[in-house]
Structure 1
Amino acid sequence: MSRIPQLVIANGTVVNSFGRRHAHIVVVDGKISQLVDATEPVPDAERTIDATGQLVIPGGVDGHCHVAQVTGRFRTLDDYRTTSTAALWGGTTTIIDFGIPRDARETPLEAVLSKKALAQESRCDVALHGSVVRWDETVPWQLEQLAAEGVRSVKMYTTNRGTTMADGDTILKVMREMVRLDGLTYIHAEHDPIIADCTAQHADDGRIGIEHLHRTRPELAEETSVKETLAMAQYTKAPVYFVHQSTPGAVDLVTEARARGQEAYSETCPHYLTLDDTVYGSAFPEWYACCPPMRSPETVAALKQRLAGGAIHTVASDHSCYDLTQKRERTDDVRAMPHGLPGVETRMPVTFTAMAEAGSSVEDFVEVFAAGPARINALPGKGSVAEGFDADLVLFDPSVQRTVDGGALHMGTDFSPFDGRTLAGWPAVVVSAGRVVLDREGFHDPGAVGRFVSRNGFREHLAATADLSAATL
């Protein structure tokens, strides 16, 4: 006698990036075992959730989170329990964090293994990116070890000299290694000489407080760095992924590179789609301290157009959980204050609302929220509501709106840059690995059940998912 399924999501409108259908979703042992057409009877199950009138999408994949991150003398206030809980509240069932060396004494491999140990407290699934700051003869071996651990991407910064910045030689050599290991190069692209000079000029003029942040890091710095990095990626034939792109010019450079046959990807963040540089003239400019900074209203509008047109491949939170006490310690000098915004919990409603305003479909939203991040980051079993995939599911009614209350969120900080905004796209039910962790009764802490997800090779995974998409369509 066959075993009764643990869970059935009945009568929902299942929306994937490639289409939608009305179906019952059957969950067995944390996997989607079957999609049954909604015209058929609802299968028996230990628990049935009626999704009539709701959309059912794959659980979100946030490819850019910083958990328990140490930068200089500042440490974000979260841990994996806090951030993974907030992620689940926000419809994200997989986060990808970074193992970034704290200083010259910590190696890239040590940084990743340290984060992997901390991630044992996670409530949702976790993957990791590595990071290289400086090249030495051990780096190729360390990258091999990271690949063996299932860490198939490496982030490098083109700015932040003296801390996390990698020089051009290091970036080029790491790109070569990532090609050899079938991995992906992540880049924080801001041209350091331009930023350093521009910041110094503002400091000399006494205009270095938080209200001047957007003027110290011009759009030209981002676009110049993207152009240089794309040239190195073309030379090495390396796939490259640009984090938190904030300008349409940066996105267009990636689009042009793709037209030439390069494997290049654009990520943006919810705050760059919804906030503009007038926030630095507000009563609380420290709420918006991040790099790159917010851009002009015209730039924000053009960036949303690029997203609506499909030129942006993922939307990630770039979650960094500082609180206002840390932010306000040095508002007089942007060089000394911590940069980064809490956002893992609000990524879904902010992105959904911004895309709906731009005329995007729910399928388009699913692509940048879940399917694209899963595919590009070579995460097996993630990003689709399909048979054999992990039972990571989000139910929501797009007509339901809520107003953001930063103090009522769950990210371990005391503010949200979206406080007071009315948004659609809030999750009503969240299922993670087959467990119902959020429903009308509230949050049900599953405990430290989050799994470390070992990633596939980049090109290997793209080929496999292309075959799957073709078969599904």
Structure 2
Amino acid sequence: MPGVADLVIANGLVVNADSRRLAHVVVDGGRVTAVVDAADPVPAAERTIDASGRAVIPGGIDAHCHVAQTTGRWRTLDDFAIASAAALWGGTTTILDFGIPRHSSETPLEAARHKLALAAESRCDVALHGAVVEWDETVPAQLEELAALGIRSVKMYMTNRGSTMADDDTVLRVMREMVRLDGLTYIHAEHDAMIVDCTQEHASAGRIGIAHLHETRPELAEEASVREVLALAEYTGAPVYFVHQSTPGAIDLVAEARARGLDAHSETCPHYLVLDDGVYSSQFPHWYACCPPMRSPETVAAVRRRFADGSVHTVSSDHSCYDLTQKRERADDIRQMPHGLPGVETRMPVAFTALADAWADREAHDGARLLERFVDLFAASPARINAIPGKGTIAPGYDADLVVFDPAEARTVDSAALHMGTDFSPFHGRVLRGWPQTVVAGGRVVLDEDGFHDPGPVGRFVERRGYAEFRDASGTGLHVPSIADQRGN
């Protein structure tokens, strides 16, 4: 019927990073076409979902996922069909994966093209980061081709000697190229020499099992690496994004750099907000094998405070889907076991619960509100920092990626009821708030009271903009077209 929209989310509290209002969200052709004041009549639609008493927020953007990733002898167990469905179950409608070379003969461009092919099975939208391990004369041309494909960031590891680690010369040269190409440098910051030395000392003392993981990767190693990388970023003028920051010192170093005018960003992960190093003396310490490891309760509390006060810019899952058989196989030697946690599905409730708890402890909120801050961390800032068009905001012209949830509803995590292609969750048994009740991705209702509705492999590859180009366009208030706008559909 003429004038009838595909979908209306009616009577919800529509929350963006900078605003909230009671409104009806009108969806047509995969885009938000209007946000109508709730005092007005509900627009006509093929389907209407009543969101009364609930929040409506932009679909989540998880900027740090590892899907179908091979590292040495280990391969994560999910594929894009599984990981993207789990993301949708968890309120995330766009994931960013990494084209990390699987072996020394695979080039950055080959690794990215491999992931692009695998991503054809995705149920949600996908963007990619490149990765560089070793510099050679072909790297500049490869980075140019990646940028032409819409892959505008490159990750480098400051540790993992002999596998994924990039040396300082490589980091500096890649940063220079990313400045030239208006891209963003992603960094895993842990000081390799410190970690190798500390790990060897523990191995010599026979303390190399999973129970000692947190002792082999000290906080100082993370902060020393952040300090060095910030110096390289300042020298080259490169925008830099630090993944999975786990200490207040690391976050504060980035904040200090930003105060000096550097384009630097802090990401943390849900597990660093709610889990501490006591897990390594628990019955199942192998559930928590990740790098950096969990920190002391005092450190976790300090990171959570910074998560609430705006010092942290994004929250990402660092999703890596191993199972317990893989985790247990070499739990006797942390140098041999796979590190990484499943988390793309639980990112929303863990992060929301941690933020709400930290928010309640704050004496002042500087005029900010809890839901707005959550939207910024969960969707708006990941879209802005990663130059993803048409995402992270509920407004006309933006992609119709929407989540309806009740901030007060609590559920208990049940590993067996999750959908990430593994047999455990590090959050099993925890009571969390902020679970999605309805999820709309690209205008399709994929989760509602009747369960999950698999849309099939409809996820689109998102071509990202240049870092400064997108920042400047967003800063002027100009409309940033959605993917659908770009493709004319």
Alignment correspondent of 1:366: 375
Q: Supply the distance in 2 between the matched residues of 1:222 and 1:327 (Cα, whole angstroms).
A: 24
Q: Supply the distance in 1 between the matched residues of 2:308 and 2:36 (Cα, whole angstroms).
A: 32
Q: Supply the distance in 1 between the matched residues of 2:36 and 2:196 (Cα, whole angstroms).
A: 58
Q: Supply the distance in 2 between the matched residues of 1:6 and 1:88 (Cα, whole angstroms).
A: 20
The residue type paired with residue 101 of structure 1 is P
Shift of the alpha carbon at 1:470? 11
Q: Supply the distance in 2 between the matched residues of 1:371 and 1:39 (Cα, whole angstroms).
A: 27
Q: Supply the distance in 2 between the matched residues of 1:5 and 1:166 (Cα, whole angstroms).
A: 51
Alignment correspondent of 2:485: none
Q: 1:448 pairs with 451, 457, 463, which one?
A: 457
1:348-363 matched pairs, under 5 angstroms? 348-359=348-359, 361-363=370-372
Q: Supply the distance in 2 between the matched residues of 1:211 and 1:465 (Cα, whole angstroms).
A: 46
Alignment correspondent of 1:414: 423
Q: 2:411 pairs with 399, 402, 406, which one?
A: 402
Judged with a 3 Å threshold, the aligned counterparts in structure 2 of structure 1 residues 112 and 470 are, in CA distance, closer, same or farther, namely closer
Q: Work out whether residues 3 and 44 of structure 2, in 8 Å CA contact, stay in contact via their aligned partners in 1.
A: no
Point out where structure 1 has 5 or more consecutive residues left out of the alignment. none
Shift of the alpha carbon at 1:238? 0.2
Q: Supply the distance in 2 between the matched residues of 1:425 and 1:255 (Cα, whole angstroms).
A: 28
> Is 1:208–2:208 an aligned residue pair?
yes
Q: Supply the distance in 1 between the matched residues of 2:57 and 2:477 (Cα, whole angstroms).
A: 18
Shift of the alpha carbon at 1:31? 0.2
Shift of the alpha carbon at 1:2? 4.1
Q: Supply the distance in 1 between the matched residues of 2:22 and 2:193 (Cα, whole angstroms).
A: 54
SS in 1 for 2:32: strand
Residues 165-206 of structure 1, C-alpha deviations (whole Å, 9 max, x = no match):
000000000000000000000000000000000000000000
> Is 1:393–2:402 an aligned residue pair?
yes
Alignment correspondent of 1:34: 34
> Is 1:324–2:333 an aligned residue pair?
no
Alignment root-mean-square deviation, CA: 1.1
TM-score (norm 1): 0.99
Q: Work out whether residues 27 and 33 of structure 2, in 8 Å CA contact, stay in contact via their aligned partners in 1.
A: yes
> Is 1:336–2:336 an aligned residue pair?
yes
Counting aligned pairs with the same residue, the percent is 71
Shift of the alpha carbon at 1:104? 1.1
The residue type paired with residue 466 of structure 1 is G
Q: Supply the distance in 1 between the matched residues of 2:67 and 2:96 (Cα, whole angstroms).
A: 9
The residue type paired with residue 476 of structure 2 is D
Q: Supply the distance in 2 between the matched residues of 1:470 and 1:275 (Cα, whole angstroms).
A: 40
> After TM superposition, which residue ranges in structure 1, 4 or more long, deviate above 4 angstroms?
none
Alignment correspondent of 2:161: 161
Judged with a 3 Å threshold, the aligned counterparts in structure 2 of structure 1 residues 154 and 281 are, in CA distance, closer, same or farther, namely same
Alignment correspondent of 1:284: 284
Alignment correspondent of 1:275: 275
Q: Supply the distance in 1 between the matched residues of 2:138 and 2:266 (Cα, whole angstroms).
A: 30
Q: Supply the distance in 2 between the matched residues of 1:307 and 1:114 (Cα, whole angstroms).
A: 35
Q: 2:475 pairs with 446, 466, 471, which one?
A: 466
Of residues 353-362 and 79-88 in structure 1, the stretch that sits farther from structure 2 once superposed is 353-362
> Is 1:257–2:266 an aligned residue pair?
no
Residues 122-180 of structure 1, C-alpha deviations (whole Å, 9 max, x = no match):
00000000000000000000000000000000000000000000000000000000000
Q: Work out whether residues 25 and 32 of structure 2, in 8 Å CA contact, stay in contact via their aligned partners in 1.
A: yes
SS in 1 for 2:23: strand
Shift of the alpha carbon at 1:468? 2.4
SS in 2 for 1:462: helix
Shift of the alpha carbon at 1:467? 2.2
Alignment correspondent of 2:132: 132
Residues 425-464 of structure 1, C-alpha deviations (whole Å, 9 max, x = no match):
0000000000000000000000000000000000111111
Residues 264-298 of structure 1, C-alpha deviations (whole Å, 9 max, x = no match):
00000000000000000000000000000000000
1:47-196 matched pairs, under 5 angstroms? 47-196=47-196
Q: Supply the distance in 2 between the matched residues of 1:192 and 1:293 (Cα, whole angstroms).
A: 15
The residue type paired with residue 435 of structure 1 is R
Alignment correspondent of 1:432: 441
Q: Supply the distance in 1 between the matched residues of 2:457 and 2:315 (Cα, whole angstroms).
A: 26
Shift of the alpha carbon at 1:4? 1.7
Q: Supply the distance in 2 between the matched residues of 1:235 and 1:450 (Cα, whole angstroms).
A: 39
Residues 27-54 of structure 1, C-alpha deviations (whole Å, 9 max, x = no match):
0100000111111000000000011111
SS in 1 for 2:477: helix
